[in-house]
Structure 1
Amino acid sequence: MINRSRRGLFTRQRPSQQQRLPWIKDENTFTDQCQRCNACVDVCQTKVIVKGDGGFPMVDFHHGEGECSFCYQCAHVCPEPLFEPQQQPPWQQTVTINASCIALNNIECRSCGDQCETQAITFVLQVGKVAQPMINDAACSGCGACISGCPVAAIEMIVPAV
C-alpha cells in the first residue's frame, strides 16, 4: 500500500487528492493492483485519463475534451479487477463552487452552466447582484464538463462527507 501523506515532504507540496477513474472499487485496491499499463489512458474517448502521481492513471478534466463520457472503456480494457459494475454510480464525488467564482464575486459568468449537459448548474437571479450559481447534486452526473469550462478554476470535485 502506498502512503501518500509524506509524498510532498521535499517538494513542499501538499498531498493532492487525485481524481480517480470512474467505477474504481477503492483507493487501496487501486494502488495495490493497478499495473500502470496505460491501457485506460490509451482507450479513453475524451482523453481525460492521464498518467498521474507515481504513474497511476487519473482523471484530469483540464485535459482532452474536459469531461468523462462514462463509456466504461477504461474498465473493459483493464487487466485487473479494479472496477465496480457499470450499473453502479461511477463515483461518489460531487462538484462544488469555491469563493473564487467570478459570479459569486458579482461579475457576470455562466460558463459552467453552459457546459452542463444535465443542467445541474442553474443560476438564480438576485436583487442587486448577478445571477448566482446553484448546483443540483441529484442532477449532476459528475462528468466534469463544468470544471474545464470555468475560466477561474472555481469548480472542483469533492468527496461528500458521510
Structure 2
Amino acid sequence: MSTQTRSPSFRKALTGRSVGIRPPWSSEATIKSDCTSCSRCIDSCPEAILKPGPANTPVVDFSAGACTFCKACAEACPEPVFSSTDACPWTLAAQISDGCMLSIGIGCQLCTDVCDQSALRLDLRVRPVGRIAINQDACTGCGACLPLCPTDAITLGDYAHEG
C-alpha cells in the first residue's frame, strides 16, 4: 500500500501557503528569521492546536480544535517571533466553497452551530435549503468550524479585517 503526498509547491499553488497557518500574531517572515524551534509556544498552547511544522517551527492544526486567542503561545516565546497581542491576531476568515452540502440541497449547519462570533449564519432566502452567509468582519479565523464540516468545504483565507 503506497501513500501519496503532495509536494509543497503543489500545496502552495492550491492554498497559497506552503507550510500551513502560522500561530496568531506571527508571520512566516518572523518564524523564518527569529524562531529557534524551541517548541515553547507549542507546549504552552492549552488547546493543543500548535504542532511542529517544517524545521520544527509551529503551525496550526485546526483538526485538533479552535484557537481561543489566549496569547499563551506569544507569552511563552522568548524570541521576537510574535507581534503585539493587542493587534489583530491574523488576517484569516472563513470561506465556503461550492462543496458545501447546502449547495447540493442537503441541509447542514454544523458550522453555524459552533461559531461563537455568529460570523456564520444560515441564509434561508436561498432555496431550497439555504446557504451559509459569512460576516467576514465578525469572523476571527479561530477555526472552530473547520473540523466539523463533513465535506471540508470551509477554508481559512486571507481577509483584511476592518478596525
TM class, shorter-length = 0.7 to 0.9
Considering only aligned residues, what root-mean-square deviation do their CA atoms show, in Å?
A: 1.9
What displacement does 1:160 show?
3.1
What displacement does 1:102 show?
0.7
Q: Is the 8 A contact 2:92 2:140 kept in 1?
A: no
Residues 1:22 and 2:21 are matched in the alignment = no
Moved over 4 A (4+): none
The equivalent residue for 2:3 is none
Of all paired residues, the percent bearing the same amino acid is: 37
Calculate the TM-score normalised by the size of structure 2: 0.84
SS of corresponding position for 1:140? coil
Calculate the TM-score normalised by the size of structure 1: 0.85
Higher helix share: 2
- For 1:72 and 1:123, how far apart are their aligned partners in 2? 31
Q: Once the two structures are superposed, what CA deviation does each residue of 1:63-99 show, in whole Å capped at 9, x if it has no partner?
A: 2xx1001000000110111111111000011110111
Q: Once the two structures are superposed, what CA deviation does each residue of 1:43-66 show, in whole Å capped at 9, x if it has no partner?
A: 101111111233211111102xx1
| 1:7-156 correspondence runs (5 A) | 8=7, 13-15=10-12, 17=17, 18-24=20-26, 26-63=27-64, 66-126=65-125, 128-156=127-155
For structure 2, the residue ranges without an aligned partner over 5 or more in a row are 1-5
What displacement does 1:13 show?
4.4
SS of corresponding position for 2:121? strand
Q: Once the two structures are superposed, what CA deviation does each residue of 1:100-127 show, in whole Å capped at 9, x if it has no partner?
A: 1111221100000011011110111146
SS of corresponding position for 2:63? coil
For structure 1, the residue ranges without an aligned partner over 5 or more in a row are 1-6
Greater mean deviation of Cα atoms: 53-62 or 87-96:
53-62
Q: Is the 8 A contact 2:30 2:82 kept in 1?
A: no
Aligned residues: 150
What displacement does 1:128 show?
3.9
Q: Once the two structures are superposed, what CA deviation does each residue of 1:9-66 show, in whole Å capped at 9, x if it has no partner?
A: 7xx8433621110001x32221121111111111101111111233211111102xx1
- For 1:146 and 1:8, how far apart are their aligned partners in 2? 26
